[in-house]
A = this chain, B = another copy of it.
């Protein structure tokens, strides 16, 4: 089964295009987790337990684990293992290195940890992506037009009438032999999402920038002419409960934040 098929299947089964960004900050998680040997792993597991039937998948950003050293490695492993097999496990790592090094990254995140897909920076070109694409049932989300302010520095440079991010997408689609190339486009770039998804409704998209980054969901969904997308929300869901909440309050808040956002996505997609 290709990554795209797996994605389509879980979107349908859970009636959800939502992925939860698991970006745990030890200073922000509720206090009751601190009694555990690995608080961040337990935090993630409880989020997964509270939302796994109403989301399409999860997206841990590895930056939040690398700063925890050995404990972070354990937390990534336990987190991936806690996600049901039919959900999408996206590694947000934004890697991009030359061929022989890229092979080690692919091995780490796909073969060892068992992620289904990974975010990648395109700057180093085809050989930095190739080892990931050789794993036929896995996929990459290549950074195209990101949601942050710095995205204007280079991504919007104009080259013979096209933007750099458009050239990145055109070139990357040449590598898409197994339905395994997707893109990251920020929720704020509605005009560009409109244009791209009208031309390429089959290409899967990872869309950050809803929630803490507070872009307009309505405006976004109006411009999205594809079913193959996931919208990421991180802080708006995982920190929805207060720091002094109980375990029960935590699971209730997380679930209800996910239910609410998922409901909004489904309602507005149907318009």
Q: Which residues of A are at the interface with B, using a C-beta cutoff of 8 A?
A: 23, 61, 63-64, 66-67, 69-70, 72-74, 77, 94-99, 101-102, 104-105, 107-108, 112, 121-129, 143, 146-155, 157-159, 164, 167-168, 171
Task: Determine whether the beta carbon of A154 is less than 8 Å from that of B164.
Answer: yes
Minimal beta-carbon separation of A203 from chain B (angstroms): 19
Chain B residues with CB below 8 A from A98, complex form: 146-148, 150
Chain B residues with CB below 8 A from A168, complex form: 154
CB nearest neighbor in B for A66: B108
Minimal beta-carbon separation of A155 from chain B (angstroms): 7
Quick one: copies of this chain in the complex? Answer: 2
Question: CA separation between A245 and B23, bound complex, in Å?
Answer: 45
Chain B residues with CB below 8 A from A97, complex form: 61, 63, 94
CB nearest neighbor in B for A174: B153
Question: CA separation between A159 and B167, bound complex, in Å?
Answer: 12
Residue from A97, A101, A125, A153 with most neighbouring chain B CB atoms (10 Å): A153
Q: List 5 A-B contacts (CB under 8 A).
A: A63-B105, A94-B124, A98-B148, A121-B123, A158-B159
Minimal beta-carbon separation of A126 from chain B (angstroms): 4
CB nearest neighbor in B for A130: B150
Residue from A72, A121, A149, A159 with most neighbouring chain B CB atoms (10 Å): A121
Task: Determine whether the beta carbon of B112 is less than 8 Å from that of A69.
Answer: yes
Task: Determine whether the beta carbon of A151 is less than 8 Å from that of B164.
Answer: no
Minimal beta-carbon separation of A260 from chain B (angstroms): 23
Chain B residues with CB below 8 A from A95, complex form: 63, 94
Chain B residues with CB below 8 A from A148, complex form: 98-99, 124-125, 127-128
Contact of A146 among B23, B122, B124, B147 (CB under 8 A): B124
Indicate whether A69 sits within 8 Å of B63 (C-beta atoms), given known contacts A123-B121, A150-B128.
no
Contact of A124 among B64, B70, B121 (CB under 8 A): B121
Chain B residues with CB below 8 A from A126, complex form: 149-150, 153
Chain B residues with CB below 8 A from A64, complex form: 101, 104
Indicate whether A125 sits within 8 Å of B104 (C-beta atoms), given known contacts A67-B112, A69-B112, A112-B67.
no
Chain B residues with CB below 8 A from A127, complex form: 148-150
Question: CA separation between A158 and B121, bound complex, in Å?
Answer: 20
Chain B residues with CB below 8 A from A94, complex form: 95-97, 121, 124
Question: CA separation between A70 and B71, bound complex, in Å?
Answer: 8
